[in-house]
Amino acid sequence: MSTQNALSLSGVTKNFGKAEIIRGVDLDIRENERHVIIGPNGAGKSTLFNLISGRMDVTAGEIKLFGNSISGMSPHKVNRMGLSRSFQVTNLFPNMTTLQNLKCALLWDMKHRYAFWKLVNRQHAVTEKAEQLMEQLNLVHRRDVPAGLLTYAEQRALEIGTTIGSGAKVLLLDEPTAGMSRTEADEVVELIRQVTRDCTLVMVEHDLGVVFNLADRISVLVYGEVIACDTPEAVRANAAVQEAYLGTEVH
């Protein structure tokens, strides 16, 4: 294959006690593709994200990021290797302003690390990049508002901003449009399309409109197993998916 796999999961399993939540997932995500994972509630989509991002350890199997194994690594190390994620529940620094949140996301990637001998506000490259990001996110007018006081849609946009800010090549977005109105969701989808032009996107989404609009390929996760992984058209036509997802008998 000419395109390298950005992320590849082989035989990934996760048990909580005796309960098998993820049951041997094999999944290859190509570089620069937009890959959406769908599936009914409780299928294990968020758990899968937690496993990939290092928030939880896998019980068995291996996860590779650009060919390097990342299973069992702590989240900050996974992040430094080029993977970043957002959460289903908004997860920001609520007391910091929009600008400060973005700066925090940029600091490590721009090599400032644990420095205590330079001032953040003197790092003009960081400020500039944060301002650029802010423009992309349409949050310029909210520059100095604490993140905790932004509207829900703005918080989600900011979270996408922090996710891409950390310089990641692979983005995991966990239901970025959950709880949004139609227009808000459309704006966010447009934003995602823009910011993921040259990186790999893996996204969990419930809204099928969004899914078919954005995805290059779709994986369907049901009871901890991938039952289909194909282009949107093929998935739409897949009988097993229809049965699992819509719960209808196929005649």
Partner 1 sequence: MSTVQEERLAAQAGGGAQIWVRQLWPWVVAAILAILAPTVFSSGHDIHMLSSMGIMVVFALSYNMLLGNTGLLSFGHAVYFGLGAYIAMHALRYTNDAVLDGTGYGIPIELIPLIGGIAGLGFGIIFGAVSTRRAGVVFAMISLGIVGLVEASSLAFTGFFGGEAGLFGDREDVNSLFGIEYSRSISVYYLVVAWAFIAAVAMFVLRKTPLGWMANAVRDNPERAQFVGYNTQMVRFLQFCLSAFFAGIAGGLFVLVEEIVTDEAVGFLLSGEVLLAAYIGGIGFFLGPVIGAILVVYLESNLSAISDAWLLYFGVLFIGVVMFAPMGLVGIAFQQWMNFRSGGWRGTLLARGYCTAAALVALLGFICIVEMSYHYLRSWNPSQPMTLFITDVNVTTATPWLISIAIFAAGLGALLFHAKPMLRRAADTAGGQQ
Residue 65 corresponds to which amino acid? Answer: L
Q: How far is the CB of 119 from partner 1 (least distance, A)?
A: 5
SS3 205: coil
Distance of CA 47 to the CA centre of its chain: 13
Contact with partner 1 (CB under 8 A): which of 4, 68, 76, 141? 76
Q: Which stretch binds partner 1 (CB under 8 A): 88-96, 202-210, 218-226, 238-246?
A: 88-96
Contact with partner 1 (CB under 8 A): which of 4, 68, 69, 95? 95
Residues 152-191, mask of contacts with partner 1 (x by CB under 8 A): ----------xx-xx-------------------------
89 near partner 1, rule: CB under 8 A:
no
Residue 8 corresponds to which amino acid? Answer: S
Sequence-separated (6 or more) residues with CB below 8 Å from residue 18:
none
| Residues in 108-147 at the binding interface with partner 1, rule: CB under 8 A | 108-109, 112-121, 143-144, 146
DSSP-derived pairing of the beta strands 68-69 and 83-85: unpaired
Enter the DSSP assignment of 248: P
Residues 30-59, mask of contacts with partner 1 (x by CB under 8 A): -----------------------x-x----
Contact with partner 1 (CB under 8 A): which of 42, 94, 179, 209? 94
208 near partner 1, rule: CB under 8 A:
no
66 near partner 1, rule: CB under 8 A:
no
Whole-angstrom distance, CA of residue 55 vs CA of residue 37: 18
What tokens does 242 get? 């229809």
Closer residue to partner 1 in complex, CB, 109/205:
109
Alpha helices in the chain (DSSP H): 45-52, 75-80, 98-107, 124-136, 152-165, 182-195, 208-214, 232-237, 239-246
Cα distances from 3 to residues 28, 32, 228, 232, in angstroms, run 11, 9, 21, 20
Q: How far is the CB of 91 from partner 1 (least distance, A)?
A: 5
- For residues 245 and 212, the answer to whether their CB atoms sit within 8 Å is no
Q: Which stretch binds partner 1 (CB under 8 A): 40-48, 96-104, 134-142, 190-198?
A: 96-104
Residues that bind partner 1 (CB under 8 A): 53, 55, 74-76, 79-80, 84-85, 91-97, 99-100, 103-105, 107-109, 112-121, 143-144, 146, 162-163, 165-166
